[in-house]
Every structure is written in C-alpha cells, then in structure tokens.
Chain A
Amino acid sequence: MAVSSTQVQFDSLFGLFTYLAFAVGIVVFTFMIYLIVRYREKASSRQPKDTPILGKQPQSRGHVRTVLLTLTLSTIIIVPLIVGSFGAVDSLLSPPQQVCQGCAIEVTAHQFYWQFTYDNGTMPYNTNNILRVPMGQNIRLSVTSADVFHDFGIIGYDIKTDAIPGRTNIIWFYPDSPGNFTIQCFELCGSGHAFMKGTLMVMTYSSYRAWYNTTVVH
C-alpha cells in the first residue's frame, strides 16, 4: 500500500533497477562460475597454447568485437535506467507553485531537533519534532539548517534533502494515507545525531484544518 507519491515513484524506479541488476548479476555470475568449473585444472586439462612464460611478453588475446559487444549490451541496459531516473527527478525537483493554506512548511534543522514553521508564522514549540500535514494535498517543505549540515529524511516516504546552513532546499510530496512516519537526520551532525528524530503526522484534511485553526498567529 503506497503512502505517498514519492514512495510510488521510488518503488517503481527501484524495482526497475533491481530487476535489471538481478538479470545482469545472474548472467555474469553464471558465466563466471561455468568457466571456473569447466576450466579448473584437472588431470584431463589441456595445456593452453598461449601460456605466458617468464621472459616473454604474453601473446595478445581477445578482440575488439568482444569489447564492442560488452559496451553495446551495457549501453542497452543503462539507457532505461537513465531515462527512468530523469523522469523521476523531473517530478521530484518540480515542486507545485501553488499549495493550499497550511501546506507550505519551513523545516529548520537544529542540533538536535527539527523545527517546523507553518505559513501563518506558527512555530509551535510545544509540538517540536512533530510535522502535521493534511492527507490528499501537495505538501511543500523548505528545508534549511540553523547550525551544521543535517539531512531531512522521512522513512517510508523515500524522500530526503540536505539541510544546509545558508541554503534552502525544497522538496514536496503528496500523502495518500493517514498515519505516523519517522523523520530522521541522515547526516552525522554530532553526538545527538542518532536521536534527532521527528514524526510526520498525516491527518485527514478536516482534522488538520481544525488543528491549523487553533494555532496562534504571531
């Protein structure tokens, strides 16, 4: 069950990579193991004619055809990977211009907590580390850092961006189902790094609105 748009995208692309990886891996390993088993030294082994000997340059072996074949097959495999990646990154890096009220949130990373500021200027200190978002809306996060290099990642959403002082990186997603997800820092940022967690709370639109309206406007 998909939980967000980004996760759907990740899963399909990761699936493509994984299928091709297994296909290539199985072919190459089979080839290698076959050759090892077939040509390991036995009593019946034939002495190769071109065995390199000390004091002589080894004979040249192999043909450019093999190289071209390898390169052609490899290119055929990597083209869909590049095309697929481009498609996914185009959508990941084109955040929607317009999002609903309460759906554009600033994320500021601190050693060692997350601070979420809503578009009405709300900075609910009592709910530190909890990011509430409505389901079924495009959510846009502007991520930055107040001190050192952090990385904002939502486990299960398959989405991440670096939180860098002096820079703002934008990511967006579309939550499909309600629930709680773990937000965690993915770049070593100091002694509290492992505990720099937060919660992404995906609420139904109506309960989100109810919560949003209770927040104090500064």
Chain B
Amino acid sequence: MGEQLRAIARKWLYTTNHKEVGILYLITSIFLFVAAGVLALTMRTQLSAPGNTLLAADIYNQFVTVHGLLMIFWVLSPLAFGFANFIIPLQLGARDLAFPRLNAMSFWFFLFSGVMMILSFFFGAAPDLGWTLYSPQTATLFTPTIGFNLGAGALILMTVSITMSSVNFLVTMLKMRAPGLKLRYMSAFSWAILITIFMMLYAFPSFLAAVVLLYVDRAFGTVYFSSIQGGSLLWDNVFWFFGHPEVYIVLFPALGIIADVIPTFARRPLHGAKYVIGSMVVVAMLSFAVWGHHMFVTGIGIVSTKLYTVTTIAISLPFDVMIISLIETLGMSKLRLKAPALFALGAVANFIVGGITGVFLASVALDYSLRGTYFVVAHFHYLMVGASIIGLIGGLYYWFPKITGRMYNEKLAKIHFVISMIGFQILYFPMFILLDMPRRVVTYTPDTGWGLLNLTATLGGFIFGGAQLLLFYNLYRSSRVGPPSGPNPWEAWTLEWALPSPPPPHDFDVIPTFLADGSIRFGSGPGLPNGSSHSGEIGYPNGSSTHDGNSSLHFVNAKRPLFTASRRAQSLADSDGFRSIHLLPRFDYWKARKPSTG
C-alpha cells in the first residue's frame, strides 16, 4: 500500500507528460476555485444585511483582494491552460509540448505561487487593497505587513510561470504541428490559445516590471510608485496596460471552447470561421489600446479620454462579429442540447449581457458616475464568471470523456446547468441595479436601501456555489464508475477525438499528416490512428510498423539531416517537424515520458 502510494506520488510529482500536467493544472485550479469561491461566499454573507459584523473591515479587504487575485491569475487562466496542455498537442498532432520539463516547471511555479498567495493570510495580513494594487497604498508606509511582500512575490512567481508556459506553447504551436497542418486548419480553440499566448507575451512583461518595481519599492525603499510626483498614475498606466489585455487573456480560451463546442453539437461548421478568428486577432491587437478607460476619472485629459472612449466602444465591433457568427452557426442545424452545448450557449447569453454593459463603461461620461460601483462588479462578473467560467465548465464536460475515458452523468449535468444559470442571474443581475453602491465596502447603512438587492445577490451566490458541488460530484463519481465513452462520443471533427480515450502516454503511434485539402491521414491510408483500431485495416497498429508507404509526406518539413548523431539532436529534429518515430519506434514511449528539453 505504502509502496503503491509512493509510486502514485512519484508519477504525479515527476511527470512531464502534457496530459498529466494538464490534469494537474485542472485539478489545482479547481481547488483554488473552491478556495476563492469560499472567500466570495463569505463576503456575500457579510453583505447580505446592512451593518453586518461577520467580517471586520481589514479582513474583508484581504478577502476582496485575494479573491480577485486568485480567481484571475490562479483559476481562470490555469483552468484554460489545463485544457490547452491536454488538448493542444493532440489537436496539433504533436507528442508533447516543445519543452515538457519546462511545462512541468511552469506548473510547479503556478502551484507554489498560489499556495504562497494563500499563505500571505498568515503573515500579518494578505494583500488588502484590491487586486488592482493601487499605489501609493502599496508603499510600506501604508501597508507594512510581510504578507503583502509574500503576495507580491507570489505574483512574480506566477508571472514567471506564465512566461515559461507561453514560450512553450508558442514554440509548440508554431514549430511542432503535424506535417501539412497549416495554421488556418487549426480549430477555434487552438487559435484562441495561440492568440491568448501572444497577448500574454506582450501584456505580462508590463505586469512583471510593475510588480518587481513594487517589490523593490517595498524591500529597498525606492520610490517608483510611492513618489508623490506621478507614482499613482505610473502604476495605473503600467498596471492597466497589462490589465485590459488580461481580461481577454482569461476570456479567449473559453471563447475558443465555445466556438468549437457549438458547431460540434449543432452538427454544422462554425459560421464565418475565418471572420471569427480574424475578429479575435483584431481584439487582441486593439486590447493594447484601450487601457485608458480604467483611468477615465484620474484626470488624464479630455482628448485622451475621448480617444479611449472610441477605441473601447469600437472593440465591441469584432465581438459583435464573433457572437453573431456563433449564433448563426445554429441556423439549419441539428442542435444536440447536451451539457457542453448548454454551457456554451449559456456562456454566449451571459457574454451578450456582459458585453453590452461593457459599452456603458466604455463611455467616459457614464464612467463619471459608474466608476467604482457595483455596476462594474456586475459587468465583469458576467464576463469572467458568466462567460469564462461557464464556458470552461462546458469544456470540462466536453473533454471529460477524452480525459478519463468515461462518460459523465448527463442528467446531473443538465440539472447543474439549470441551477448554475439561475443562481448566476440571481447573484449578479441585482448588482446592475446597485449602480450607486461602492465596490469593496465591508458594509453599508440601512438608509441606503441596498439591503434587499444585496440579500438577493447573496442567495444567488449560495445557489450558484452550491450548484458547483453537483459538478464536482458528477466528475468525481463518473471518473470512477461512468460508462466507457469510446474515442469520439460527440462525433467531433478535431484531431484529439481520433485517439482512444484516454489517449496513450505517447498520444500518436503514427504522426498524422494533413493533406492539401485539409483531410487527415494516418500512416498509409486515411482514417483513424492505430491504438483505437488494432485490426490494421487502416493505419498502423501500435506503431509496430517501421515503414510508411507515404513516408515522404512526413518529411515535408524536415530541415535536418535524416540521421542524427545524438538523442539530443534527434529530439530537436522532432520539434522541427521531422518525425524520427518511423525509424525508432521503440523509443516512442521513452520519448513521451522523459524527453530531452534541449
């Protein structure tokens, strides 16, 4: 027993396999989701009645801050990148990410930074000034606790993790696609991840610089941000230059999932697929030119506020194209309303509400009233919870059969959907009406008349939170006793569904080739890869073949000599698209488990 446990622990501690790292990401971020969700429910309980004294003000402020930071950095992105880890190499026809050990390192940085952020509660006080960390309150003078240093350190480590991860994905997606797989053949999810990575690459350096300078301010008494000469606005600018792309960074993976799930269940291709992808690219670029709308009332001047109003309202145009295309996909379809489809459609519905109210906040004139109120809270929760989390839950149901090989309980999942959506609306819609109530207040007086709406929101919060227990139960139980799902339960078209569920450690016995018309071929004939069919009728069974009738197709991208001297070079050659697997079939497994990271 002890031996067995040690073996399991070793497997998960030492793994570099993209699928196992992906599962680690998913499970860790779900645990952190629960932690941050408990913080949120405690805050909602505190706000359920005016003058409530459940939480003291300084505790409440820590809860507000850590809830926001955890949800944005340690839940939304890692949950999405858990899927990306698992699915992207499968969709690209790669056996792993480009740098599997770096990938494992990203995960451990992510995990320990998350733990560090939570530990900050026990070192004086956790960060307590909102996830935006406005200066100069971050100065030691106003926030002397060590807990804040710990939180800032956690943010630095988290950024390191994200940077490593984005480089890894970038190399994988640009260099390790199966022969013939052009970028334009990629699924919407792969595209969304690729665009997200580019946004990360340009946004996070600004954040890293900001947090490092902040840390230096606190540790060595510099005055980058605590200077009275513009320190506050300097932070505002560098933070929001990162902060606005960040909201799309947490949204796009979910949008990608939605844009793959809806066509799959509607049994029709994505309407205007290239325009949807194009819109995402436009949004990604424009997202770096809208950050000023977070600073409308800091006094940045009339001309720049007008410019930011125009860019911010204009960014709704590409989103309109995406949403209308997603809805039009349903036309003349045969829509199977299974749980993933329900969650995808629910996410679109919430996205429409969140997007429309975003236009309100894009107007500098309305911002003079709405800034810092619960209207803002409602708006971004409609996007971050309503679109991102609901969309990602759709992804959990969608890929659950692929990840575990078992089917979840559909009826329970539908109940989960209905309760989640109802709870969500009860939770967040009242906040739109609370458009006078300041955010991040620990309490309010009865004469404000905000009590009833807050009570309603709290009730909704418990309904929404409680509904997630159904999700956890369903996934946990089904992963043990669910009926086998087979390789492609949804009759989807993307490559991961060609593999057995769950896929073998090395994913592909034979690396597929994409033909000029976009069809996929495994080995000498079109069809499924081996592993799922042992008959040998199509493809190659279990990679035992050392000869490929169409091997020339596999060498299309080969830029290196056919025979390489060392394993290291061999593995580099692999990442360049040259597949050595036909020559060295027995190293498949070894390479997938313990690759050299060059």
Chain A residues near B (Cβ < 8 Å): 6, 9-10, 13-14, 17, 21, 24-25, 28-29, 31-32, 35-36, 39-41, 45-48, 50-64, 66-67, 70-71, 74-75, 78, 81-82, 84-90, 92-93, 111, 147-149, 151, 153, 155-156, 158-162, 164-171, 182, 184-195
Contacts and interface: CB of A to CB of B under 8 A. Distances in A.
B142 A147 contact: yes
B491 A54 contact: yes
A189 B130 CA distance: 9
B325 A162 contact: no
Interface in B218-250: 227-233
Given A13-B363, A31-B327, A21 B336 contact: no
Contacts of B230: 166
B272 A71 contact: no
A149 B372 CA distance: 13
5 contacts: A6-B368, A39-B331, A62-B275, A82-B313, A194-B438
Contacts of A48: 267-268, 332-334
Top 4 nearest A-B pairs by Cβ distance? A57-B518, A62-B272, A186-B372, A88-B365
A187 B328 CA distance: 41
Given A54-B493, A81-B363, A28 B273 contact: no
Contacts of B268: 48, 50-52, 61
Given A28-B327, A158-B368, A75 B317 contact: yes
Interface string B288-306: 0000000001110010011
Contact of A58 (B269, B348, B520): B269
Interface stretch (B16-24, B57-65, B148-156, B399-407): B57-65
Nearest to A185: B438
Contacts of A195: 57
A70 B61 CA distance: 43
Interface of B: 56-58, 61, 64, 128-130, 134-137, 142, 185, 227-233, 263-264, 266-275, 297-299, 302, 305-306, 309-310, 313-314, 316-317, 320-321, 323-325, 327-337, 345, 348-349, 352-353, 356-357, 359-360, 363-366, 368-369, 371-373, 436, 438-444, 448, 488, 491-494, 497-498, 517-521, 526-528
A197 to B, nearest CB: 9
B119 to A, nearest CB: 21
Given A29-B349, A39-B334, A194-B442, A164 B233 contact: yes
A82 B359 CA distance: 10
Contact of B444 (A17, A24, A194): A194
Nearest to A53: B493
Nearest to A28: B352
Nearest to B526: A55
A151 B297 contact: yes
Nearest to B265: A41
B269 A28 contact: no
A173 to B, nearest CB: 11
B359 A86 contact: no
Contact of B298 (A35, A61, A162): A162
Contacts of B517: 57
B332 A85 contact: no
Contact of A74 (B316, B348, B366, B444): B316
A156 B325 contact: no
A155 B130 contact: no
A168 B365 CA distance: 19
B321 A67 contact: yes
A159 B330 contact: no
Query: Chain A: interface secondary structure?
Result: mixed
A66 B439 contact: no
B356 A21 contact: yes
B442 to A, nearest CB: 5
B292 to A, nearest CB: 13
Contacts of A182: 448
A193 B441 contact: yes
B61 A188 contact: yes
B349 A32 contact: yes
Contacts of B494: 54
Given A61-B272, A161-B299, A167 B232 contact: yes
Contact of A55 (B64, B134, B337, B493): B493
Nearest to B496: A54
A71 B232 contact: no
Nearest to B488: A54
Contact of B334 (A45, A165, A171, A194): A45
B334 A93 contact: no
B335 A36 contact: yes
Given A40-B337, A71-B317, A185-B438, A25 B309 contact: no
Given A13-B365, A21-B360, A86-B306, A165 B136 contact: yes
Contacts of A17: 359-360, 363, 366
Contact of B302 (A41, A89, A168): A89
B341 to A, nearest CB: 9
Contacts of B129: 188-190
Contacts of B335: 35-36, 39-41
Contact of A86 (B61, B309, B327): B309
Contacts of B134: 148-149, 187-188
B497 A54 contact: yes
Contacts of A156: 436
A79 to B, nearest CB: 9
A184 B352 contact: no
A55 to B, nearest CB: 4
Nearest to B367: A160
Contacts of B329: 61
Contacts of B444: 194
A89 B313 CA distance: 15
B369 A158 contact: yes
B336 to A, nearest CB: 5
B130 to A, nearest CB: 4
Given A28-B323, A55-B498, A149-B232, A61 B302 contact: no
A153 B442 CA distance: 17
Contacts of B497: 54
Nearest to B329: A61
Nearest to B271: A62
A2 B598 CA distance: 70
A63 B274 CA distance: 10
B596 to A, nearest CB: 32
A170 B185 CA distance: 54
A55 B539 CA distance: 13
Contacts of B231: 165-166
Nearest to B373: A186
A11 B509 CA distance: 65
A78 B316 contact: yes
Contacts of B316: 74, 78
